[in-house]
Structure 1
Amino acid sequence: MRRLFYKGILADTIEIGGADAHHLMHVMRAEPGQKVIVVDDENQVARMEMTAFTSDTVTMKLVERLDADTESPIRLVLAVCLLKADKMDFVVQKAVELGVNCIVPVASHNCVVRYDSKKAAQRQQRWQKIADEAAKQCGRTALVEVRPIEPLQKFLCHAWYEDDMDSEFLFCYENEQNVSVRECLQRTTSERYLLLIGPEGGFTLEEAEAVIKAGGQSVTLGPRILRAETAAIAGLSIVQFEKGDLGS
């Protein structure tokens, strides 16, 4: 059943506009009586029935509220250095399916792709659209923010893990041989995890030192060399399995 995210709070009757209304009317060819799942800004979920249409809105009435929270018990942020377009698309989609709460595209020294400000904004919009569609497809009860592209040094200056929430900052580093992701996770009880993945060319020594200075714990994903997109999916899966709800 089609899932929509409603900018507001669920009520007995609501009105959907914008791209979702256009999709319902002109792509799905929806008719009165058809039902969809709607998630509101407070993560409430309900089955709603379409009752009326205008040129740019769809009116819906509440059929039943659902107890369908699908969010992970942990907060999970993925910071991933820029990959070639199709690979970045893939990582964004799969990260949403794996339960991340936020995705931060990062520009580092060895990134293959470079964007000017206009192209960077277009890419962010594209990735946000992919993330929104993935959230609908996999039954999330919250949308995932894709932040603007940031240089690594600027990213490290942000207080991603310095507020009141207990956090763990992990970065997958090809030169780390002693500390595994699983070992690191098993010795922490953090509520939020920040996972940093490098580009195809890896981190420079200076970048790795900067990440460690900013509080990052270097970890290894194993003895084999993984492609960057593989490392992102593997790292997220391990965190969600050990601390979240993957396989629960």
Structure 2
Amino acid sequence: MKNRIPRIYINKDLKIHEKVILNVSNTHYIIKVLRMNIQEKLEIFNDTNYVFLSKIIEIKKKIATILVLEKEKKNIESLLLIHLGLAISKNEKMNFAIQKSVELGVHMITPILSKYCNINRNKKNILKKNIYWKNIIISACQQCKRNIIPKINNAEDINIWCTKSNTNEIKIVLDPRSSTNVNQLPKNINCIRLLIGSEGGFSSLEMEKIIKHKFIQVKLGPRILRTETAAIAAVTALQMKFGDLSN
């Protein structure tokens, strides 16, 4: 059985035969966590559709140097563009929903501030969370072998986010009271703005405004889902119907 080559993310343009000094975080990961040594190989991704096979050539104190050996084009991005508007929920739930949504192929995430978000709304606190969420996204890409890093936007008020849309974008909001399911959506969808609420859902006033901005109310089934389950189930259903999970 072929051993899996470890992957790390480097925010840098790379060239074959280039020597790259890893930052402290990546060095700690490959040396202390993975217990890798000189001459062992690893795969680098850098937010392009290329991966770079490299090997460790030097380890000094807390710094490791690698040599880029070759590159290969690998595009595993879904053709279905899902922009996930995810109402901010408690730490573990939000982290889990972001991680799994990335693994399932969403291309953009916007944390949403809604009435029932149970969080500290201090601006510094939210910006700190955003940095943490970006690291979760990078880690998820590292695990699932995505090479393009999905963008996470700054947190946005629900009333502002809902007014926005792109050309040919279908707007969807999960609503267990709806009579419409995924199979009843228009055919040939390739761009979706998907809105998912927090544990308390959306207020009646928020839902009125969401519908006013032409979001289609969709239910996933007869059961009420937790927010993190709803995110995973919705993205999975949409990828199965319009994306690449059926491939």
Q: TM-score with structure 2 length normalisation?
A: 0.88
Quote the offset at 1:16 in angstroms: 4.0
Matched letter for residue 212 of structure 2? K
Q: Equivalents in 2 of 1:208, 1:76: separation in Å?
A: 21
Give 2:241's aligned residue: 242
Report the alpha carbon displacement of residue 232 of structure 1 after superposing the two structures with TM.
Answer: 0.9
1:119 pairs, out of 117, 125, 129, with 125
Matched, 1:141 2:147: yes
Structure 2 residue corresponding to 1:171, chosen from 170, 173, 179: 173
Mark the runs of 5 or more structure 1 residues left unpaired by the alignment: none
Select the residue among 7, 10, 17 that pairs with 1:6. 10
How many residue pairs get matched? Answer: 241
Kept in 2: contact 1:48–1:62 (CA 8 A): yes
2:229 aligned residue: 230
Q: 1:71 aligns to what?
A: 77
Distance in structure 1 (CA, Å) of the matches to 2:177 and 2:224:
10
Compute the displacement of 1:149 (Å). Answer: 1.9
Match for residue 17 of structure 1? 22
Deviations 1:89-110 (A, max 9, x none): 1101111111111111111112
- SS of 1:48 mapped into structure 2: strand
Q: Which of 44, 49, 58 is residue 55 of structure 2 equivalent to?
A: 49
Deviation at 1:196, TM superposition (A): 0.5
Amino acid at match of 1:206: L
Q: What is residue 180 of structure 1 aligned with on the other side? A: 181
Partner of 2:38: 32
Q: Aligned partners of 1:75, 1:237: CA distance in 2, in Å?
A: 13
Residue matched to 1:197:
196
The worse-fitting range, judged by mean Cα deviation, of 113-122 and 60-69 is 60-69
Give the fraction of aligned pairs with identical amino acids, expressed as a percent. 29
SS where residue 240 of structure 1 aligns? helix
Closer/same/farther in 2, CA of residues 50 and 203 from structure 1, 3 Å limit: same
Offset of residue 6 of structure 1: 2.7
Shift in Å, 1:85:
1.3
Distance 2:132 2:152 in 1: 10
Residue 221 of structure 1 aligns to a residue in which SS? Answer: coil
CA contact (8 A) 1:173 1:198 kept: no
Tell me the equivalent position of 1:206.
205
Deviation at 1:234, TM superposition (A): 0.6
Deviations 1:211-232 (A, max 9, x none): 1222311111122222221111
Q: Is the 8 A contact 1:182 1:238 kept in 2?
A: no
Using a 3 Å threshold, how does the CA distance of structure 1 residues 25 and 220 change in structure 2: closer, same or farther? same
Contact residue 49 and residue 74 of structure 2 kept, 8 A = no
Secondary structure in 2 matching 1:52: strand
Deviation at 1:51, TM superposition (A): 1.7
**Alpha-carbon distance in 2 for matches of 1:22, 1:210:** 48
Structure 1 residue runs of 4 or more that deviate by more than 3 Å after TM superposition: 25-30, 53-59
Matched-pair contact (CA < 8 Å) for 1:6–1:16: no
Gap regions ≥5 residues in structure 2: none
Q: Indicate the SS of the match to 2:67.
A: strand
Q: Let me know the Cα RMSD of the aligned residues.
A: 2.0
